[in-house]
Amino acid sequence: MAGTGFVTRFTLEVFFLKIACAMELITILNQCYHFPRFVYRYARFGPDMKSIEIAVRPREGSAAICSGCQKPAPGYDQLPERRFECIPLWGFLVFFLYRMRRVNCRRCGVIVEEVPWGDGKYQSTQAHMLHLAHWARKLSWKETAGTFHTSWERVRDAVEYVVTWGLDHRTLDSVRAIGVDEIQYAKGHKYLTLVYQIDQSITRLLWVGKERTVESFQGFFTLMGEKLAAQIEFVCSDMWQPYLDVIREKCSQALHILDRFHIVSKMNKALDEVRAAEAREMARAGHEPLLKKTRWCVLKRKDNLTPQQKFRLRDLLRYNLKTVRAYLLKEDFQQFWKYNSPTWAGMFLDFWCYQTMRSRIEPMKKIARTLRKHRTLLLNYFKARKEISSGVVEGLNNKAKVTMRKSYGFRTFRILELALYHCLGKLPEPELTHEFF
C-alpha cells in the first residue's frame, strides 16, 4: 500500500507540474503575444517530445474577420486544424494549433478569416518570420535554417514576406539624390542594374533591375512616377550610354554627376595598357626590362606604396618612357578633384586635355577625348559642391557583392532580388506587441 501511495503521489506531482508549466507558458504568451479575439487553450509537448504545441481558439462572442475586406462577417464553417510555426523556445520547436474559420462575407463571398498572428498561406507566425528574416541578414539562409531547426523554404518565405511588406509600405517622397551602377551577378556577362538613394540623411537600395539595358533602368522611373521623378535633384552614374540616355529623358531637371571612381578606373586601365605595350616592345628589341614588376608602382596611389615600391618608382621616373609620361599625366589629373570652382576646374580640364592630346600616347588621348565629350557632366561634380559622389554607390555595391558571396550565389533572379532588398533596402517591418530578438 505504501508503494502504491508513493506512485500515486508522484503521478499527481508530475501532473500538477505539467499544469503549472503549461500555465506559466500561456501566461508568458498572454503577456507578450496577446490577441484580444483569441484564447490560448493549453500547451503540451508534441508526440515526439521535441516540440511544444499551443492550442488556440476564438474568444466566445468574438466575430471572425474577413481576410479580403478586414470587416466582421458571420461564420460559415471550420477547416481542419492548421499548424503555425512560432519562435523556438529552450531548444523546442513551438507550434500554434488552430482550426481556421471560413466566413460568409457580403462583399467577398465565402472566404477564410484573417488571424492576427499569420498572413495568407504562410506556415509560420509573423513573429517567427520576422525572427528568421532578422537572422537572415547576418547569416546565409542555409545557416539560418540550420541554426533554428527549420527549412530553407521557411527562411525564404520569411524574407519574402518581410520584403514584400516593406516594399508596399516604404515611402519614396524623400528621394532627392540617386546613384545608378551595375554589378555582375553570374558568369556570362549577366548584370544587375542597381539604383540607390544617396541622400546625406539616408542611403538605401531603391531598385533592382535585370541586365544593364534601357528597359531595366526605365523600370525604376516607372516605379517612381513622373511626380516623384521630377523631385530628384542629383543623379550619379558612370559613362554607360544607355544610362546617360535614360537620365537625359527622365531626369532632365536633375544635376547629372559622372562617377569619379569609373573615370579614375579608366585612366588606370589606359596607363596599364601603355605600360604593357611598351614592356613588350622593349623585350622584342632586347633592351633592359625596366618595366618588369612596375605595374602596381604606377597604378597605386603614392600613399599606398610600400617602401620597396617607392624606391622602384623613383628609379623608374629617371627614364624618358611612354609609361613615365602617361604616369605623370595621370598624377597631374588628380589636381582636378581638388578644385572647388567649376570655372577653374573647367580651365584645368581643358589644359590637361590639350597637353594629353599632344603626348602622342594613344590610350591617354582616348581618355582625353572621352573627358572632353562629357565635360559638362564632369563639372557638375563641383556644382554639387562635392556633396554627391560615387563613393557611397561603390560602398553599397560591395555590400551587394558580400550578400551574394555569403550564400555562394543564388540560383534565380527572384531570390537574389529578395536578398538584396532585404539587406540593403532599409525597408520598414511589421510591428509586433513584443520584441522577440
How many Cα atoms occupy the beta-carbon half-sphere of 37 within 13 Å?
Answer: 10
Whether the per-residue pLDDT at 387 is higher than 90: the answer is no
Cell match 629617371: residue?
A: 318
Whether pTM > 0.85 for this model: the answer is: no
Burial 99-130 (b: 16+ CB within 10 A, else e): ebbbbebeeeeebbbbbebbbeebbbbbbbbb
Q: What is the DSSP string of 304-373?
A: G--HHHHHHHHHHTTS--HHHHHHHHHHHHGGGGG---HHHHHHHHHHHHHHHHTTT-HHHHHHHHHHHH
Whether the per-residue pLDDT at 3 is higher than 70: the answer is no
What pLDDT score was predicted for residue 15?
46
What pLDDT score was predicted for residue 204?
95
Whether the per-residue pLDDT at 252 is higher than 90: the answer is no
What pLDDT score was predicted for residue 386?
82
In tens, the pLDDT along 155-165 reads 999 999 999 99
- Of residues 329 and 213, more confidently modeled: 329
In tens, the pLDDT along 208-219 reads 998 888 898 999
Cβ-based burial of 9 (10 A; exposed 0-12, middle 13-18, buried ≥19): exposed
Q: Please state, rounded to an integer, the average pLDDT across all residues of the chain.
A: 87
φ, ψ dihedrals at 52, nearest 5°: -115, 130
Give the residue-averaged pLDDT of 241-249. 88
What pLDDT score was predicted for residue 6?
46
Give the residue-averaged pLDDT of 72-95. 88
- Of residues 307 and 388, more confidently modeled: 307
pLDDT category at 91 given cuts 50, 70, 90 is: confident
Pairing relationship of beta strands 190-198 and 203-210 according to DSSP bridges: antiparallel
How many Cα atoms occupy the beta-carbon half-sphere of 300 within 13 Å?
Answer: 15
Give the residue-averaged pLDDT of 266-277. 94
Give the residue-averaged pLDDT of 98-104. 90
Fold of 177-259+390-406: Nucleotidyltransferase; domain 5 (3.30.420)
What pLDDT score was predicted for residue 11?
53
Q: For residues 425 and 137, what is the distance between their CA atoms, to the nearest angstrom?
A: 11
- Of residues 347 and 60, more confidently modeled: 347
Q: For residues 122 and 110, what is the distance between their CA atoms, to the nearest angstrom?
A: 20
Q: For residues 331 and 150, what is the distance between their CA atoms, to the nearest angstrom?
A: 56
Q: Among 136, 190, 185, which Cα is nearest to 160's?
A: 136
Give the residue-averaged pLDDT of 172-182. 92
Give the residue-averaged pLDDT of 338-357. 94
pLDDT category at 375 given cuts 50, 70, 90 is: very high
* Angstrom distances, CA of residue 276 to CA of 85, 182, 282, 361, 363: 61, 28, 10, 13, 12
In tens, the pLDDT along 13-70 reads 444 445 445 557 788 888 778 888 899 888 888 888 888 899 999 988 888 888 888 8
